[in-house]
Amino acid sequence: MNDRQRELLKIIVENYIKTVKPVGSKSLVKKLKCSSATIRNDMAYLESLGYLEKTHLSSGRVPSETGYKYYVDNLMKPKEISGDDVLKLQTILSNKDLEVSDAILKCMEIISEITNYTSIILGKESKDQKLKQVNIVPIDNRKVVAVLITNTGHVENKQTMISESIDINEIVKSCEIINKNLVGTPLGEINAKLEYEIKPIIASKIKQYEEVMIFFQEAFNDFTFKRSDVFFTGKTNILKQPEYNHPDKIKGIISKLENIELIKKIETDNQGINIYIGEESKFDEDVTIIKTSYKLKGEEGTIAIIGPKRMEYAKVVYLLQFLKNYLERE
């Protein structure tokens, strides 16, 4: 492929991303400063290499999956975003009052708005973390805060009202038993150990042990659920794309977005910005997934953007790289 053909492929990909219309030779004469016949020949050559496809609707060409991959690997240059959008992201990331997970979620909301694609955040599963400490902080006679700390340094608070039949001192005493016996236990194993190992110990020392056990089980359940949750922003944005204007397509992609086990497979441990187009996304043949991992202040996980294969690759890569760089500079 010569320089003109590479430039031709770049223009066709970027025009199709913008207009969703097949690109014809006549529209490119001025840009490439050559005849329509030369461009047609180059188009035919790029089609023979598998980079372009001809649609049945017109004589124009559209990028193939292979064409998108070549564009991403060889032709694309990250596209910077407006100063206002950068400022929005920086303001959130520099807010010391926000937890890391909340800051990332708000940033991904902004990225969904900028791109009009669907964003996903996958926190590390709770089974990958271990209990370091549980603290009970009484607020008054009926209200307490349970503070759970993991080995990664993540802190979670649960404020709750307790039954009048429970003495707060019994909650505190039970907390001491839990710390003595469960520190170092993977979060995913805690509920089983609470039921079969800790409950008999607490029952021998605490009168209202059943209600006390329910209190701690609910606290751990809330914590482990939150830590393994899948967060979406702009979940329906992908349905606004013309690729999903057919009822069967809409039904298919909605079904996949609601399949949490399928979504969790998007998780990555790779450090760079990774682009998976079409079939290689292992999610849907008509989508692109761009994703990367993050790790900051004891929290780690995956951030990902899902859009059509006709995605604004340069903009999405820039946004995820900006967010990743900002997080990792801490």
pLDDT tens-digit map of 101-149: 788 889 999 999 999 999 998 876 545 678 888 888 888 777 888 888 8
The tens-digit pLDDT sequence of the chain (330 residues) is: 899 999 999 999 999 999 999 998 888 998 889 999 999 999 999 999 999 998 776 678 999 999 999 999 999 987 878 888 888 888 888 887 777 778 888 999 999 999 999 999 887 654 567 888 888 888 877 788 888 888 766 677 777 888 777 888 888 888 999 999 989 888 778 888 888 898 899 889 888 788 888 888 877 776 654 555 678 888 888 888 888 888 888 888 988 888 878 888 887 777 789 999 999 988 998 899 999 988 776 677 889 999 999 999 999 999 999 888 887 775
Over pLDDT 70: what percentage of the chain? Answer: 93
Report CA-CA distances (Å) from 158 to 134, 143, 147, 223, 227: 11, 11, 7, 8, 13
- CATH annotation of 3-75: 1.10.10.10
Task: Tell me the per-residue pLDDT of 167-188, one tens digit each, with 9 for 90 and over.
Answer: 888 888 889 999 999 898 887 7
pTM of the predicted model as reported, rounded to 2 decimal places = 0.70
- Domains of the chain by residue range: 3-75, 83-124+229-328, 128-227
Tell me which architecture the domain covering 128-227 has in CATH: 2-Layer Sandwich (3.30)
Fold adopted by 83-124+229-328:
Beta-Lactamase (3.30.450)
